[in-house]
Amino acid sequence: MTKRFLTRMQQVVLSAGVLWLLLPKPPLLDGMSFSREVLDSRGGRLAVTLSSDDKYRIFTPLCDISPEVIRATLDHEDRYFEKHPGFNPVSLFRATGRYLTSGRKRGGASTITMQLARLRFGLKTREVVGKFHQIVYALELERHYSKEEILEAYLNLAPYGRNIEGVGAASLALFRKTPAELSRYEALALSLIPQSPARRGPLRNRENPALQAAMGKKGGAEAARFRVIFRGLPATEAPHYVRRSLRATTGRSVATTIDRDLQRTLEDVVSDYLQSRKHLDLRNASVVLFDWQKMQTVAHLGSADFANRSISGQVDGTRALRSPGSTLKPFVYALALQQGLIHPDSILLDAARSFAGYNPENSDRGFAGPIRASDALTRSRNIPAVSLASRLHPGLYPFLQQASVRFPKPESWYGLSLPLGGGEVRLEDLVRLYAMLARNGEMAGHQLLTPEAAFLTLEMLRNTAAPDGYSLREPVFWKTGTSHGYHDAWSVGICGPYVLAVWMGNFNGRANPSLMGRIAAAPLFFEILEKLETDRQLPRILRKPPAGVSLVDLCPVSGQLPGAHCRSPRKGWFIPAVSSIATCSVHEEVLIGCETGLRRPDSLGPEAVRSEVFEFWPADIQSLFATAGLPRRQPPPFAPTDQPLTTRGETLRIISPRSGVVYTRRALADGELCLQANFSPETKRLFWFDGAQFIGACSPGKILRYSPGAGPHQIVVIDQNGWQDVARVRVEVVAM
């Protein structure tokens, strides 16, 4: 009998062993959807998303969970966890006995492995069949996974009320801590809630009596007094950037370059600024702070308020196509510097001009006359910028294409309006362009500008005066922009290691007279920088000039190398062998008779003479000085007997139309050519001809309009002394 019994037992054990080995391997966490975490540059959380089944469920490795949590969970849920095979026979038999004798279904028999099986496979365990399936799944889990893997899976799926599952989300929602940072009583609370999450789940802003009672029962009077409330998950920070990062990557953890401190500084300053500008009806802004050394976005504000529907706050303004106003002008000057057309002190003309029918105006509708290139840029004069753009080869459009700025239309569509905001760009585009200037002309491994041109452009921008009331210790290289019709206000620049770009406007395109770069965007730009400097978040960067530039003495009037009669030279930059520069010829010494006060051709004569230095500009520039309210001091006239023969006829030159150019009627305003010429001081009248055909006459400095027919034309200008110049052009009529 004993032998037969032993044989049967051996068969049972052998069969059980075979069944144990044949148990299939169920999935542990494979296929489970978890929340995705978006992290800042230091690993802190910016956002936590919902899982695909609308749960907050943050995967947390067992090694990142506090031993206090593990200890409390095992003590209150399954103290024999390390010893049983998936179910506890003693507890199971005890619970079965209670059910058979009293008919009451009471808990207490489920192990952590069984609870994991119920949570993982959605089992209904209140019925006998469901309980049997739970035990089988528990055995399968124990067969194929270690105790550590099972405990880790349980702690990541345990319910904590509402839609919170797992200790990762629960510790964040209840205590604003990671599971590794939880204290003893916090761990106790997390071990008790899963036993009855509907009854013990924490309440918002008040304690749950059921949970507090359970804590007192398990942990004593001090534990009962420990306050546990539901705080919810922290609000998403940098929401526009977070949303973009989630779309661009996969995985449970998404790392970003956002600096949370800088992000909060940005948000606070923008909020306060808009609050203080309510009287100007300024309601929205997009701002990016970009580290040009690391080529990383460190703070990003797509709108002033993500949750504000009245401003369409969920729209990311940094990616919207908007007119950039004058913010592209620095790149016209950079290309002109690189191509040797100018240096920072070159004299440009700010006067009425027509460019093949395009007639730009300055924002003040006036003209500054002759002006230094650096001043023309910092004062954002339109006509000098367009004039330079017309001389670039290659021009601004192909340069921007090289910089990955995409336009929906070809270059001919925009023409010379591009430097004035005639095309639409993204704030992100401007950030990358200005970062390229800070990086000595380099972008994504390509040298788009020479280091010399980039450096001199920044030196020119450094001279832009800050708005009244703002000052920084660190130099700022910046530019404003205002779109036509007052729809967009911009301020973009470089300070320290950062490019800061500010846009202000309305996503619905509503115009506002206050939406001017210097009025709306520039003060916000400087308030952000001042706050960064005050908070010591603005590291100092020492910029060194590249080897290819030289600092030399220049004539303060002409911007050229000082001549023999130039006074008080000033220091200025230029690029040797590239910049267009010569010795100043503006200043000339004049001999004046001491008795008559009249000009003398030489020192020979009956009276003593004295010398004075005067400026001798071409007559057209001289008249521009007068028009701008800056008349130049003129030398006295010659005595009648000393009047020299004129030698300045060679200065008569046609400046419009340009010889060799093909003009089309659709490119001309009303099909007209603008006839304009440089002239000498002696010029009194200009006579214009098309070949032998007389067109008309005008005073020097005036523009004569002419509507030619199709074909070749020889445009001739003659002054009253017979001096002349010729421009050969061709006119084509293009069907509209």
* DSSP for 371-404, written as a single string: EEHHHHHHTT-HHHHHHHHHH-SS-HHHHHHHTT
Residue 211 has a CB neighbour count (10 Å cut-off) of 23
Task: Let me know if residue 678 belongs to a domain.
Answer: yes
The first and second tokens of residue 36, run together, are 């995705």
Lowest mean pLDDT among 45-54, 139-148, 718-727: 718-727
More confident residue, 92 or 209: 209
Phi, psi of 708 (to 5 degrees): -85, 160
Taking alpha carbons only, the member of 255, 269, 266 closest to residue 288 is: 266
Q: In this predicted model, what pLDDT tens digit does every residue of 415-435 receive, in sequence order?
A: 999 999 999 999 999 999 999
| pLDDT bracket for residue 348 (50, 70, 90) | very high
342 and 397 share a domain? yes
Per the domain annotation, does 589 fall within a domain?
yes
Residues 637 and 659 in one domain: no
Query: Which of 22-26, 94-98, 179-183, 260-264 is predicted least confidently?
Result: 94-98
Domain with residue 147: its CATH number is 1.10.3810.10
Question: So what's the pLDDT on residue 649?
Answer: 44
CA 42 to chain centre: 21
Residue 82's nearest CA partner among 137, 30, 150 is 150
Statement to judge: residues 637 and 724 lie in one domain: no
136 lies in some domain:
yes
Is the CB of residue 316 less than 8 Å from the CB of residue 240? Answer: yes
- Quote the domain boundaries for residue 114: 22-224
Query: 277 pLDDT exceeds 90?
Result: yes
Are residue 345 and residue 417 in the same domain, yes or no?
yes
> β-strand 724-732 against 570-574: which pairing, if any?
unpaired
Q: What residues form DSSP beta bridges with 686?
A: 698, 719
Statement to judge: residues 341 and 384 lie in one domain: yes
- 279 falls within a domain: no
Number of structural domains found in the chain: 4
pLDDT over 90 at 718, yes or no = no
Reported pTM: 0.82
User: Are 505 and 487 contacting, i.e. CB atoms less than 8 angstroms apart?
Assistant: yes
* HEC sequence for 89-100: HHHHHHHHHHHH
Query: Secondary structure of 27-41 in the HEC alphabet?
Result: CCCCCCCCCCEEECC
Least confident stretch, 47-51, 193-197, 299-303, 583-587:
583-587
Q: Is-contact 143 150, C-beta < 8 A?
A: no
Q: Verify that 679 and 578 share a domain, yes or no.
A: no
Quick one: tokens of 29? 């966490």
- 331 half-sphere exposure, CB direction, 13 A CA radius: 33
Q: Are residues 614 and 679 in the same domain?
A: no
**What pLDDT shows up at residue 19?**
64
Task: Tell me if 72 is assigned to some domain.
Answer: yes
| CA–CA separation, 592 and 361 (whole Å) | 42
Q: Can you give the three-state secondary structure of 591-630, one letter per residue?
A: EEECCCCCEECCCCCCCCEEEEEEECCCHHHHHHHHHCCC
Burial 18-56 (b: 16+ CB within 10 A, else e): eeeeebeebebeeebebbbbbbbbeeebbbbbebeeebb
The larger pLDDT score, comparing residue 723 to residue 44, is at 44
Taking a C-beta distance cutoff of 8 angstroms, is the pair 38, 154 a contact?
Answer: no
Last residue of a domain, one of 493, 528, 563: 493
- CATH number for the domain spanning 694: value is 2.60.40.10
In total, the chain counts a number of residues equal to: 736
C-alpha distances (whole Å) from 595 to each of 437, 487, 641 are 59, 64, 16
CATH number at residue 422: 3.40.710.10
Beta-ladder partners of 262: none
Residue ending a domain, among 478, 493, 508, is 493
Instruction: Give pLDDT tens digits for 529-563.
Output: 999 999 999 999 988 999 999 999 999 999 999 98
User: Is 506 contained in some domain?
Assistant: no
Q: Please provide the average confidence, as pLDDT, over all residues in the chain.
A: 88
Amino acid at 561: L
Please check whether residues 394 and 372 belong to one and the same domain: yes
In this structure, what are the phi and psi dihedrals at residue 489, rounded to the nearest 5 degrees?
-120, 135
Containing H/E element for 531? Answer: helix 522-534
Position 307 in a domain: no
425, 477: one domain: yes
Residue 669 has pLDDT above 60, yes or no: no
Same domain? 454 vs 601 = no
**What is the number of other CB atoms lying within 10 angstroms of the CB of residue 515?**
26
Amino acid found at 406? R
Residues 627 and 726 grouped into a single domain: no
Give the integer Cα–Cα distance in Å for 375 and 381.
Answer: 8
Return the half-sphere exposure (C-beta side, CA atoms, 13 A cut-off) of residue 296.
11
Paired residues of 551 in beta bridges: 573
On the question of pLDDT at 495 being above 80, the answer is yes
Answer yes or no: do 459 and 562 share one domain: no
pLDDT tens per residue across span 99-111: 556 555 555 568 9
Among 476, 493, 510, give the residue marking a domain's end: 493
Q: Is the peptide bond before 657 cis (omega within 30 degrees of 0)?
A: yes
How far apart, in whole angstroms, are the C-alpha atoms of residue 318 and residue 273? 19
- The residues, ordered by sequence, that sit 6+ positions from 345 with a Cβ below 8 Å of its Cβ are 372, 373, 374, 554, 559, 572, 574
**Does residue 664 lie in a domain region?**
yes
